[in-house]
């Protein structure tokens, strides 16, 4: 039986590079986002995570679903699948690492290998669409 980890991700692209986060004590970079809390909608969770991790306020009316991706969860037992629902959005504020986030960087496609398995699928999809 497969075990699913349900997560949300915020895709932000500038100059064909995607915003990535490095959490304190981690060696793998992730697309920013996280898990929803009890009774949160996707938009509510995404807005909360963006504020907690990136110090920005997503504009609710600009949030658009990009897609859903599934892959083996990094650092979890075989068969643990992360299901990543991705969104794009505009925001107010200045991108600044906060909470458990140590660094923010914009990655070109060539740095895909530094990210988690599910992020590899997202990198490939963005590249196929000419966004990276």
| CATH number for the domain that contains residue 37 | 3.90.79.10
Percent of the chain with pLDDT over 70: 99
Contacts 24+ apart (CB under 8 A), 124-132: 125/67, 125/69, 126/11, 126/13, 126/18, 131/13, 131/16, 132/13, 132/16, 132/17, 132/18, 132/108
In 3-state terms the chain splits into helix, strand, coil percentages (rounded to 5) of 25, 40, 35
> pLDDT value at position 76?
87
- pTM above the 0.75 mark? yes
Of 129, 19, 130, nearest in space to 67 by CA: 129
pLDDT category of residue 75 using cuts at 50, 70 and 90: confident
pLDDT category of residue 1 using cuts at 50, 70 and 90: low
> pLDDT value at position 46?
97
pLDDT category of residue 122 using cuts at 50, 70 and 90: very high
Question: How far is C-alpha 107 from the geometric centre of its chain's CA atoms?
Answer: 13
CA distance linking residue 76 with residue 74, whole number of Å: 6
pLDDT at 52 over 70: yes
CA distance linking residue 29 with residue 126, whole number of Å: 17
Task: Tally the domains of the chain.
Answer: 1
Instruction: Give the pLDDT mean for 57-71.
Output: 97
* CA atoms within 13 Å, Cβ hemisphere of 56: 20
Q: What CA–CA distances, in Å, run from 30 to 22, 39, 56, 61, 62?
A: 6, 24, 17, 25, 22
* CA atoms within 13 Å, Cβ hemisphere of 24: 7
Computed over every residue of the chain, the mean pLDDT equals: 95
| Residue ranges making up the domain that contains 39 | 3-129
């Amino acid at each position: 039986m497969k075990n699913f980890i349900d997560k949300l991700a915020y895709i932000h692209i500038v100059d064909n590079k995607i915003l990535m986060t490095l959490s304190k004590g981690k060696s793998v970079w992730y697309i920013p986002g996280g898990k929803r809390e009890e009774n949160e909608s996707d938009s509510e969770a995404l807005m909360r995570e963006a504020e907690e991790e990136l110090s920005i306020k997503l504009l609710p009316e600009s949030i658009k679903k990009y897609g859903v991706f599934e892959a083996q969860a990094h650092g979890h037992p075989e068969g643990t699948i992360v299901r990543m629902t991705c969104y794009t959005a505009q925001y107010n504020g200045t991108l600044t690492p906060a909470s458990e986030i140590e660094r923010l960087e914009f990655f070109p496609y060539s740095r895909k290998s530094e990210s988690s398995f599910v992020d590899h699928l997202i990198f490939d999809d963005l590249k196929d669409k000419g966004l990276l």
